[in-house]
Amino acid sequence: MELRHLRYFVAVAEAGSFTGASERLWVAQPGLSTQIRRLETELGVRLFDRHTRGVELTEAGSLLLERARAVLVAADMAGATGADVRAGLNATIRVGVSSGPAWGGLTALLERYRSERPSVEVTTIRGPGSALWRDLREGRLDGLLAPDVFGSPDLRSLALGEEPWVLLAGPGHPLAGDGPLPWHALDGEKIAVSGHRDDGPYERALAAALDERGADVELVACGPVLDASVARGDALALTTAPPACAACAGAAAAPAVHATCTSVRRLEPPVALTFALLSREEDASPAFEAFIAAAREHTDEATRRPRLRVAA
């Protein structure tokens, strides 16, 4: 049985005659009649009762009509697979997001892309930047959102903007509180870093920011318990665009320290870390090319949007 036999059968059933079906299909009536007889022979049943006014479906024909329509719809959907992939529909993209310093526009970008391409599934994978960089180069990721220090000449790089370094201090630390701090306030303090080999580029960028402002600090490797070390007050941390805690959410001023959260304090004068969306030069899917376009539009709009300064 061939799909064309089912298409011929459905056309005859819907037209109610071989003449009407042949006109719709642009197939000669004798040939159409021959194909339907072959289909009946293959199935071993009569599909139509033929009379001078046309044809009527038999009980077997009515059952086949329902099933044939389902088969033809499924065949059409299967045949559209290539076009859907080329158009970036029903696709999946995987975007790495480096742990540590964050780009503040990520949530807005993901929401924008989801509204534009609701049928595309976006998976984000967080981890050390260098590990994700290897995954990107080896084809396990479509893109990587990270500080631009993870870029390399063989990768495309779309600049996303800058985020200033901020200080995280646990509730019991002397530097916990409100308002900005000068960089020299960090002198003599311990700054927590993961110490993971794949966080090397990030830690070098952190050291460069400290050197730029002349802060005399000690970098302390805390491994995967970095957050706990900061919360206990054993060390401070520097990051960008930290998420607000529930107590701080919606606050008009800079977040204040609470008994259960880490305080976030701006450092003056500001030193910024630049973020980029990295991707391979080749093999980008249409769905990911659309993601790059959405990121570019988001960044262009953010650049044009006036920034509000938060009161200390």
Do 146 and 283 share a domain, yes or no?
A: yes
Q: Structural domain tally of the chain? A: 3
pLDDT value at 84 more than 60:
no
**Helix, strand, or coil (residue 207):** helix
pLDDT value at 47 more than 60:
yes
Are 175 and 236 in contact by the 8 Å Cβ rule? The answer is: yes
Do 158 and 278 share a domain, yes or no?
A: yes
Do 181 and 258 share a domain, yes or no?
A: yes
Q: What is the pLDDT of residues 141-160, one digit of tens each?
A: 999 999 999 988 889 999 99
**Across 43-68, average pLDDT:** 90
Do 109 and 150 share a domain, yes or no?
A: yes
Burial of 236 (0-12, 13-18, 19+ CB in 10 A): buried
Answer whether residue 264 is part of any domain.
yes
Burial of 52 (0-12, 13-18, 19+ CB in 10 A): exposed
- Distance (Å, whole) CA 64 – CA 10: 9
pLDDT value at 88 more than 80:
no
Look up the domain containing 293 and give its range.
88-162+274-304
Say which CATH number the domain at 141 has: 3.40.190.10
- Residue 132 belongs to what H/E stretch? helix 129-137
Answer whether residue 66 is part of any domain.
yes
The whole-chain average pLDDT of the chain stands at: 84
pLDDT value at 255 more than 60:
no
pLDDT value at 222 more than 60:
yes
Residue 92 phi, psi dihedral angles, 5° rounding: -130, 135
**Across 135-146, average pLDDT:** 92
**Across 177-186, average pLDDT:** 92
Per-residue pLDDT, 202: 85
- Distance (Å, whole) CA 223 – CA 59: 73
Do 229 and 108 share a domain, yes or no?
A: no
